[in-house]
Amino acid sequence: MESRATELVLSADFALKETSDLLNASLLETYPELRGQYALVDNFQDTTYLINDSIYNFLLLFAEPASLHEIYNKLGVDKTTRAQVTRFVKDLRQREILVTAQRNAVLKEIVAEEQELPQPGIDPACVVKVLKHTRQVWIGLVRDATRSEPYVLKKCLFPPGLSDEAREDDIRDFCHEVAMHKAATPHPKIVDVYDADMETYEMRLQYVEGTSVRKFVKNNNPLLTDRYRLIGSILDIFNHLHAKGILHGDIHSSNFLVNAQKEPMLFDFGMALDTSQKKDRGSRMGGVYPYAPPERVSTKPMKIFNHKPTSQVAEVYQLGIIFYLILYHELPFEGTTWKNLSGSILGLAPAWKPKTPAGEDIPAPVINVLQKSLEKDPSDRYASVQEFASVWERVIKSLRTQECN
């Protein structure tokens, strides 16, 4: 039983920022209303939310662990306001923005309706590390007698009170992810699926020790040749997927892990689509909004994507975003509100700089190849990843030949 002294803290997955720290001078000049505002950055999902100064200052109270009772005292709230604060904290906890020191602990007396996280039913002695634990899923690094090396175990959880309809939806999503992931493999640069249990709803996956594409380029500032190789490897992965009729459906930097050999490993097929099954093509609308292609962007408030499904040319565009990130350590389009970001995606051209952050010159042919992938009109892009990969390989080979002469 948790006490009123249970301490909460802003999750390490999130960071509080001022917009002036996130946007470059030209964007601040274009959108002066963003000056002096605040944002909550979800580093795991590569997502940024504009927040007002009241929410910013409230979250600052949790920069260091603090109990809700301490927060009440700091704010000097009355009984009515205290209930509002409690509801808001509950919402932040459900979104995993505020967490306890031990992620699995829950508040019982502070937020009366909060339920304990469902237990995965896995021998704790086998668990090397818990990677994620929510009310819907448990993911951990596990070691047992079935394999010589540790592996990732992903298990669906069904919390008490879950409706039959919601349970069926979760099971259907799990089965779909397993089927799509198995269909995508084997490939040396796609995380392997060892097996899946359709009775316990567990999936066993290859463990890859690595970091996201964004963190890899930012922390290592790789040589231009290593950036070329990373781009070529990702094109190879998606050439393989599209040749099998599979669209990944959720392309963003956190769905790639760069391993010790500086090679990308793709995972997370929960939003993947099998283009041979027409009934499936519009059923899943995955994506992270900074990577949204213009044809899928919705300008309506709180609605990131329109109802247009993904496609090969849409994924060509999303890969172009990844490659821009690999070259420049930043995304081509920014905005702390969806209105500003969607306006940038729809109306602004990417800024193609002549040098990497490491100071290496980027040859014009390389920029020209990548520029075509980020054209606003889908018909102006590469018609397929196969075409994209073929042009890329030809340009890189030509540059190597010139260097040798």
SS3 per-residue string spanning 58-76: HHHCCCCCEEHHHHHHHHC
Per-residue pLDDT tens listing for the chain (405 residues): 344 567 788 887 778 887 776 666 655 566 565 666 778 887 655 577 777 777 888 888 888 788 888 888 777 767 777 888 888 888 888 777 887 755 423 323 333 334 467 788 899 899 999 988 877 889 999 999 889 999 999 999 988 777 888 889 899 999 999 999 999 999 999 999 999 999 999 999 999 999 989 889 999 999 999 999 999 999 999 999 999 999 999 899 889 999 999 999 999 999 899 988 765 544 455 667 788 899 988 766 445 566 677 899 999 999 999 999 999 999 998 765 566 778 888 889 999 999 999 999 999 999 999 999 999 999 999 999 999 999 999 999 999 888 776
Is this model's pTM higher than 0.75 or not? no
The DSSP 8-state label assigned to residue 308 in this structure reads P
Q: Which ranges in 157-300 belong to alpha helices (H)?
A: 164-184, 213-220, 224-243
Which residues, in sequence order, are bridge partners of residue 258?
211, 264
- Report CA-CA distances (Å) from 381 to 247, 275, 281, 293: 17, 20, 21, 11
* Three-state DSSP class for residue 137: strand
Report CA torsion sign: 276, 277, 279, 283.
negative
